[in-house]
Amino acid sequence: MTIKILGVGSSMRQGSFSTVALKIVLDFAKQNGAQTRLLDLQQTQLPMLYSKDKETKEIQKVTDDVKWAEAFILATPDYHGSMSGSMKNFLDYFWSVFAGKLFGYICASHEKGLTVMDQMRTAVRQCYGWSMPYGISVNGEEDFNGVEITNDKIKSRLEMLARDLVVYGKPIREQFVTDLKGTESKTFAAHYRK
């Protein structure tokens, strides 16, 4: 089975460092055998949850991509120690399809982005998603030449994240699907049977 990974970029800034890093991880994931898609919330803007906007073709496409995904990479800027509003809205919008899927985290920060990634982890945990035990923080001034990543250590960590997400994401998803189809009641997947 090849794992399907959706990368979610949530910066509205042109030339976003977190989105550049995300694209690199998606490329590495592909090299590790994953199928990948990118949801860049700068290009495809989601309405706020419960806003009056009607279901558009664009929203339908995003919904299809999210349901298609078996694992996610969430990329966000550090905004006051937290995630971007668009990332929070994405998590609120699609919380119901995160259970039994693995999540990896990227943060563009001048610090280490630890509280930012912890807050995304908390939201994902509330939705019964699984999280990678580490995340990757990129610093626009130190790790980029303005456009591309020049820090080889960071590139290598992004490669590691892609590899780990593919390798750990597969068994987590497979076991969840097996449990979902089974009859065992003492598994959290039982709560998701229809």
Interface residue list for ligand FMN (CB under 6 A): 11, 13, 16-19, 77-81, 108-111, 140
* 80 or 181: CB nearest ligand FMN: 80
Helix (H) / strand (E) element for 105: namely strand 102-108
**Contact partners, residue 194, CB within 8 Å, separation at least 6:** none
**In the complex, minimum distance from the CB of residue 97 to ligand FMN, in angstroms, rounded to a whole number:** 25
* 120 C-beta neighbours (distance < 10 Å), count: 27
* 82 or 187: CB nearest ligand FMN: 82
Residues 78/17, Cβ–Cβ less than 8 Å? no
**CA–CA distance, 119 with 116 (Å, rounded to integer):** 5
**In the complex, minimum distance from the CB of residue 15 to ligand FMN, in angstroms, rounded to a whole number:** 7
* 29 or 108: CB nearest ligand FMN: 108
* 11 or 89: CB nearest ligand FMN: 11
**In the complex, minimum distance from the CB of residue 111 to ligand FMN, in angstroms, rounded to a whole number:** 4
Q: What is the DSSP letter of 191?
A: G
Q: Which two tokens stand for residue 117?
A: 């990634």
**Contact partners, residue 112, CB within 8 Å, separation at least 6:** 137
Give me the residue whose beta carbon is nearest to ligand FMN.
Answer: 77
For the CA atoms of 161, 162, 163, 168, the dihedral, rounded to the nearest 10 degrees, stands at 80
* 32 or 84: CB nearest ligand FMN: 84
**In the complex, minimum distance from the CB of residue 38 to ligand FMN, in angstroms, rounded to a whole number:** 14
**In the complex, minimum distance from the CB of residue 70 to ligand FMN, in angstroms, rounded to a whole number:** 25
